[in-house]
Amino acid sequence: MNSSNKTKIAIIGAGPVGLILSARLASFGITSIVMDKAPYLLRKGSKACLIHGDALEVLDKVGCGEQIAKEGIHWRIAHTYIRNVERITQEYPERPGYGEFVNISQYRIEQELVKLLEANPLCELRWSSEVVGYSQQQDKVKLEVRHCTETETLEFDYVIACDGVRSTLRDLTEVNFTGYTHQDRFLVTDIKANIALTKERHFHFDPQFNPGRQLVMHPQPDNIWRIDWQLPPDADIEAEKKNGQLDKRIKSVIGDIPYQIDWISTYRFNQRVVEKFRLNRLFFAGDAAHSFPPYGSRGMNSGIQDADNLAWKLALVIRGSAGDELLDTYHEERFLAAKENLRLTEATIQFMVPPTPLKQIWRDTVLRISEVWKPLRKQVNHGKMTEPFTYESSSLIDYNHRTPYVGAFSPDVVVYIDGEKSRLRKLFGKGFVCLFCADPNKVKQYLNKQSHTYNGLDFSLVAAVPKGYFSPKVDERLISVTYDDILFFETLTEKQDSLFVIRPDGHLAGHYLLDNAPSLSLILEKVSGTDSLTFQREAS
């Protein structure tokens, strides 16, 4: 629709979240401008160095998932050591698609996204553009933007702040960034070395090379290893660089082997979230909206999910397919996701960095006894890894207790499309997907009852049947897929003829038994938030 081309959207911050948001908006036909105060894309070490397989699916929707997956280090085993002895080995299940975790520097992800945006006419990148002023009216947002020595005032219909933990826009609005900054400092180094370790996550409690504290190691491509130390209060890294202690620190971990420092930095982590993800026409996403400790790699992954959640909702509103109130569900869903991440990371912090003497005694006791008594190892909190949030209580989710998947990121399985091997998730991302897992005759009966089709909402109809099963042509609109994994679909459907609805962000919005399912129009109204839909009666 023309309205999508006239709407002006500004995304502040050319990090992974802002870049992905622009790319996802473009996939819905929506134009945007990304502005960043940096003169160009800057390389600042690995920063976020792990992307979850489910977050990588978002990159796949915009066209760079395969490249990132090809370059990255794939792993699914995490090793936890107590006083230099491995005591816990956590193995994540194999799965189709991108697997569980892929390690690669944030900079490489940003590079691929910048390349995509520069080639897309719906996206514009403006470097050396710093926001220095902000005001908002009922129907627009005004930004004062400094470019080199000149400042201009620009007007936008919507603005999304993706400008990081030190967000200028958040400061200008004076929105509360509730929480705290931890007092302990951490040292992160990216070093290039041939270390005799499996290329997986290695987490240490109280190792000889960092007594009384933690250390974690993550592999990256090109023999780069990220090593993250919890530092004692008196550590002086600048002095260590000069007096040789930094070299001793590194070699105490990796041994007496050659290495090169690729990047080094110290930081303190935050436990913070904004009170409101939406202020009328201004939205917060990524680290501008929430900031977590590195435990579990939640920062960039959660920000990617922010972008994917907001993109399809903005697209529906801009096209005129949904009312403005749909945008309120961005805060509804992503604020709860951030609060859950804070809950999980707070539990990890309480164990890793005990705040009271009593909790210190408890932590030390658990570690000591768990060395000899395996059952207690379940109490060792080494950081629950990131995963997409389940929107159980969302107003857009038709939740029922019968189906645990509803509200969650949709599971994946190998399917065959026109005889070619693919994955179920390859069908998601462009619009809503109505997935029928049912007897074809019942699907036909259900579709014949539908007297309306929706004008503005993009959705597709997909029918999944076992491979080798004869499936008559039910409806010319249906995309037919076949599968081998009978058990997966029996678990998903509970062996009942079912209809599933999947949102553009890949979350399962509803599960309906086909025998008593509401009409498609009512279902789509519910899960898309388009309460004032207009329908056109099918030609008879």
* Domains of the chain, each with CATH number or no CATH: 9-342 (3.50.50.60), 408-528 (3.40.30.10)
Pairing outcome for strands 32-35 and 158-161: unpaired
Res 326: pLDDT = 97
Helix (H) or strand (E) holding 54: helix 53-62
Q: Are 501 and 433 in contact (CB under 8 A)?
A: yes
Alpha-carbon torsion (228, 231, 237, 239), positive or negative: negative
Token pair 């009271």: residue: 356
CA–CA dist 111, 43 (Å, integer): 10
Q: How many residues does the chain have?
A: 540
DSSP3 helix / strand / coil % (the chain, rounded to 5) = 35, 30, 35
pLDDT value of residue 471: 65
Alpha helix positions (H), 299-408: 299-319, 328-352, 357-370
Mean pLDDT by 10 residues, the chain (540 residues): 65 98 98 97 88 97 97 97 97 93 97 98 97 95 94 97 97 95 94 98 97 96 97 95 97 98 94 98 98 90 98 96 96 98 95 93 96 95 93 91 85 94 96 95 90 73 87 77 94 94 97 93 91 40
| Residue 238 CB partners (closer than 8 Å, separation 6+) | none
pLDDT value of position 174: 86
Strand partners, 478: 461
Query: Are 14 and 111 a contacting pair, CB within 8 Å?
Result: no
What SS3 state is found at 141? strand
- 235: Cβ contacts below 8 Å, ≥ 6 apart: 185, 187
Contacts of 48 (CB under 8 A, 6+ apart): 16, 106, 297, 299, 300, 301
How far apart, in whole angstroms, are the C-alpha atoms of residue 265 and residue 285?
25
- Of the CA atoms within 13 Å of residue 372, those in its CB half-sphere come to 3
* pLDDT value at residue 206: 96
Closest to 4 measured CA to CA, from 315, 258, 413: 315
AA letter at 482: T
